Amino acid sequence: MPELRIDPIVGRHVYIAEDRAGRPQDYADVEDVPSRRVNCPFCAGHEDETPAAAAETLGADGEWHVRVVPNKYPALADRGVAAGVHEVIIESPRHVAALPELDQGQLARVLAMHRDRLRSCAAQPELAAGLVFKNSGHRAGASLEHIHSQLVALPYVPETLAAELAAAERLIADSHCCPFCDLIAAERTADQRIIMEADGFVALAAYAGRQPYETWILPTAHSADFLAIDAHGCDAAAQILLKLTAALEHVAPGAAYNLLLHTAPFAERGAPHFHWHWELVPRLSQFAGLELGGGVYINPLAPEHAAKELRGVIER
């Protein structure tokens, strides 16, 4: 019997319907299998195939570890009504495709670059908010397999973030506490959907996840602003992200996913009602008519079962 769940922050409706996993399928699943292409514009030695770097993290030998370039095919323009920033963060000079192929130090450098580029955008008065996201795998929207993420900064607060902020502000008016902090406390009490907790971060199987294995990663101490993260925080976040993505690969080999950073708009970086977090959203079920037409989602795997599977892999 499907169970209706309502997201505790934004009120999104999700039906948990595990029986639907047994539906007949005329269309085969397509795994994302890296091709390990040789002539890749993101690999070290091919820098002339991308725009000039906007920023780089260099090693002791002067070679780059993380490289940021303007998106060659931007969704935004330099000026006018579509103005904004659109950058690609190349996360390794080596041709690797998946986060677990990075070591913890390298991913920490990537996260620090995310922070630094967002800080740069926040210093521009015409920009209101920034997004960082990773599309991993073809089904998640990636066009190049070489590991990378993207940063977009906009002159307005995008709809999804604005809705989340408005909902959080309404909730704090009732409880006088950050609703995300309340969520962490409630999940600790329930002890069903916590996947792991370590070094100031917690990973939760989303109570009303849109996709199987959807996971939220939050700092356990209240913070609205990812831009305030320090070197220790980057290292700790890198550790939990690597363990989660490795566990996801184990339970769903070849799964594509979107990794989405939600951080407060630049003018609300001290907001008491917001709490920055990553959302890891695998792309294992297709969004179809009900999702696109009605904004109602169907998840064929209960978050409690997803948490147990992922936790079992991590704790081995």
Question: pLDDT for 187-237, tens place per residue?
Answer: 999 999 999 999 999 999 999 999 999 999 999 999 999 999 999 999 999
For residue 63, being part of any structural domain is answered with no
Of the candidates 281, 275, 288, the residue with the CA atom closest to the CA atom of residue 306:
281
Over 70: is that where the pLDDT of 264 sits?
Answer: yes
Predicted confidence (pLDDT) at residue 175 exceeds the cutoff of 90: no
Reply yes or no on whether the pLDDT at 76 is more than 80.
Answer: no
Task: Report the sign of the C-alpha dihedral through residues 155, 159, 160, 163, in that order.
Answer: positive
- Is 82 contained in some domain? no
pLDDT at 72 over 50: yes
In 3D, which of 90, 98, 40, 94 has the Cα closest to residue 70? 90
Residue 309 placed within a domain: yes
CA distances from 74 to 78, 142, 152, 314 (A): 10, 14, 9, 37
Per residue in 11-59, pLDDT (tens digit) is 999 999 997 555 444 334 445 555 555 689 999 999 999 999 999 999 9
Token pair of 74 as six digits: 């931007």
Instruction: Tell whether 79 is covered by a domain.
Output: no
In a domain, 43, yes or no: no
Give how far Cα 291 sits from Cα of 199, 278, 288, Å.
36, 22, 6
Q: Determine, yes or no, domain membership for 61.
A: no
| Burial of 48: CB neighbours in 10 Å, binned 0-12, 13-18, 19+ | exposed
More confident residue, 289 or 242: 242
- Predicted confidence at residue 78, as pLDDT, reads 66
Per-residue pLDDT reduced to its tens digit, 98-150: 999 999 999 999 999 999 999 999 999 999 999 999 999 989 988 899 999 99
Report the CATH number that the domain containing residue 253 is assigned in CATH.
3.30.428.10
Asked whether residue 7 carries a pLDDT value surpassing 50, the answer given is: yes
Distance CA 144, CA 91 (A): 13
Instruction: Tell me if 133 sits within 8 A of 89, measured CB to CB.
Output: no
DSSP letter for each residue of the chain: --EEEE-TTT--EEEE-GGGGG---SS----------SS-TTSTT-GGGSPPPSEEEE-TTS-EEEEEEE-SS-SSBSSSTTB-EEEEEE--SS---SGGGS-HHHHHHHHHHHHHHHHHHHTSTT--EEEEEEEESGGGT-S--SSEEEEEEESS--HHHHHHHHHHHHHHHHHSS-HHHHHHHHHHHH-SSEEEEETTEEEEE-TT-SSTT-EEEEESS--S-GGG--HHHHHHHHHHHHHHHHHHHHHSTT--EEEEEE---GGGTT-TT---EEEEEE--S---HHHHHHSEEEESS-HHHHHHHHHHHHT-
The stretch 66-83 carries a mean pLDDT of 79
Evaluate whether residue 204 is within a structural domain: yes
pLDDT at 31: 52
Whether the per-residue pLDDT at 248 is higher than 50: the answer is: yes
- What's the structural domain count of the chain? 1
pLDDT digits 0-9 by tens, 89-109: 999 999 999 999 999 999 999
Average pLDDT on 156-164 reads 95
pTM: 0.92
Q: How confident is the model at residue 195, as a pLDDT?
A: 98
At 97, list the tokens. 């495709």
In a domain, 222, yes or no: yes
The reported pLDDT for the residue numbered 210 is: 96
Task: Tell me how far apart the 2 most distant CA atoms of the chain are, in Å.
Answer: 60
- Find how far residue 178's CA is from the centre of its chain: 21
Q: How far apart are CA 277 and CA 269, in angstroms?
A: 13
- Band (pLDDT 50/70/90 cuts) for residue 81 is low
Mean pLDDT of 174-194: 95
- Provide the domain limits for residue 188: 3-20+126-314
Taking all residues of the chain, what is their mean pLDDT, rounded to a whole number?
92
